Amino acid sequence: MLYEHRRPPPGIRTWSDTVADDEIQLIGGLPATTPARTDFDLACRNPVGKAVAAIDALARATRLSIADVELLGERYKGHRNIRRARRALRLVDTGAESPRETWLRLLIIEAGYPWPQTQIPVYDEYGALVAVLDMGWEDIKVAIEYEGDHHRTDRRQFNKDIARFEALTTDLGWIVVRVTAEDAPGGILRRLAAAWVRRA
């Protein structure tokens, strides 16, 4: 949201910047930056991992084209954080459905693995949808699934997950690395490396 006063309201973080007329829209009668300008600011003003998670979510919610944000990068190519912003924008993937999925995807990419495909639909031999996997590599049938807390606390979801996992691994030949908030990065990467060795 745009705020015209020098001192921000309590608990609100603000910064001073130039915003062009075509980067402003009205939401509920209040002036706010467009999704493209908001993404540009997120990319410039946050560490890369935090920026990518926020932009993944905003781009998914608004169907924003990253090309629109890159055009703003050309407009403001002298911005002091433009290199960091460009790096963040290259890593955006609207298939991430939570900040932890973004974190997991970036961990995998930074470890040197090929960029994983996100939201992979898997069908059985009759053409019925068995699962939509968080991320992975369809050609070698290796997937990474981030299991949020609701997978444990919702009994119906828990039982559904068991049947889904068995169908994927036993019937369809996928290796699925399941990750929770308790898993350390090193442990995740060791399990993923073992899955790749099995496929090799």
Average pLDDT over residues 62-83: 86
| Tokens 């890159």 sit on residue | 70
* List of residues 6+ apart from 143 with CB closer than 8 A: 120, 133, 134, 135, 136, 137, 168, 174, 175, 176, 177
φ, ψ dihedrals at 95, nearest 5° = -75, -15
Average pLDDT over residues 152-180: 81
Task: Calculate the CA dihedral of residues 138, 143, 146, 152 and round it to 10 degrees.
Answer: 120
Give the highest mean pLDDT range of 109-123, 144-158, 167-181.
Answer: 109-123
> Residue 127: its pLDDT value, please?
92
Average pLDDT over residues 191-197: 96
Beta bridge partners of 31: 26
